[in-house]
Amino acid sequence: AQSVTQPDIHITVSEGASLELRCNYSYGATPYLFWYVQSPGQGLQLLLKYFSGDTLVQGIKGFEAEFKRSQSSFNLRKPSVHWSDAAEYFCAVGEGAQKLVFGQGTRLTINP
């Protein structure tokens, strides 16, 4: 069965610091991977997605993620965070929108 693990429930970083959010997946075939962000009181917004090709994927808001098949990981990174990046981040795996399996989420707090 598909599963997604986000090992960090809560991460705090200082504004301007770099960020890496971890995501590990379990999937029997070639995975389709997604990162979503949920700002307080809002729905989920797609940051980026990976289906094939280049393992380094660029997304919106300056985020990127790297697919590492050998480690079953799809970690999200940003070189310099802004206070507006404070949100909850979800990693998901699936075969298209109708079969998404989400991780538990990582809440990001930004220190000024």
Partner 1 sequence: DAGITQSPRYKITETGRQVTLMCHQTWSHSYMFWYRQDLGHGLRLIYYSAAADITDKGEVPDGYVVSRSKTENFPLTLESATRSQTSVYFCASSESTSMNTEAFFGQGTRLTVV
Residues 93-112 that bind partner 1 (CB under 8 A): 95-98, 100, 102-105
The residue within the footprint of partner 1, chosen from 10, 17, 20, 51 (CB under 8 A), is 51
Q: Which of 32, 63, 67, 74 binds partner 1 (CB under 8 A)?
A: 32
SS3 53: coil
Minimum distance between the CB of residue 107 and partner 1, rounded to whole angstroms?
10
Coil vs helix vs strand at 80: coil
Identify whether the C-beta of residue 106 lies closer than 8 Å to the C-beta of residue 48. Answer: no
Cβ proximity to partner 1: between 42 and 71 the closer is 42
**Number of other CB atoms surrounding residue 110 within 10 Å:** 19
